[in-house]
Structure 1
Amino acid sequence: MALPKKKNGFRSIIINEQTFNWRITDNYLDIRSGVFPETKIHIALEWIDHSIPFEERSYLNNLQVTPRLVSEAIAFALDNQWNPAIKTTHTFLLSYAGKSFSRIIY
């Protein structure tokens, strides 16, 4: 089933009465605040290998991006000073590998 075009492939999730929108892109998991879409998290996933077609990547390490993984990513970001209630163009960067998240700081 295709998602409506106006959602641009985003799915919604509600955590602690806050709405977030998320989608998987070619390079990362993209999570955005429901209040300020500019306030976002990008998560590099462990299975990214650009030599493998996008459709085949998730099967390599049996990684499935589920609402549970998304909620764990949001909880990790919130615990590490991400604030979805503040409008910002700064992207909060995380990586996910070995079943754990880590923050990427430049």
Structure 2
Amino acid sequence: MSSKVISFRLSDAEIEALQALQSSDDESLNQTAARLLRGIIGTPTALSTTSTPVDIQVLIRREVESALFTAAGIANSERMNELVRANTAYLADDINSLERKVDERLGELSA
């Protein structure tokens, strides 16, 4: 079976998200990206049963709050709090939709 090297750049935020999805401390970012991509396209690799599931909603909420509340000292702004709540709800809906699709795909693969 032949193979090709795929290469692309990720932003700092994307790297942090990828690091959060590493299944262990000794898994490289390249291995993590390959594992996730293979899972999405339907050629899953064996996952360790000891890996900790990542709650994407918690990760995104933490990163967004950190970025917003440290930038320009606007932690007490009611308008900013409204924006955080609105965007958190928006992201939660999209994340829930993605999680359903992933669960459906995993169900198809295991059948």
Give TM-score, length-normalised by structure 1. 0.25
Give TM-score, length-normalised by structure 2. 0.24
Larger Rg: 2
Structure (1/2) with the larger helix percentage = 2
Structure (1/2) with the larger strand percentage = 1
Greater relative CO (CA pairs within 8 A, separation 6+): 1
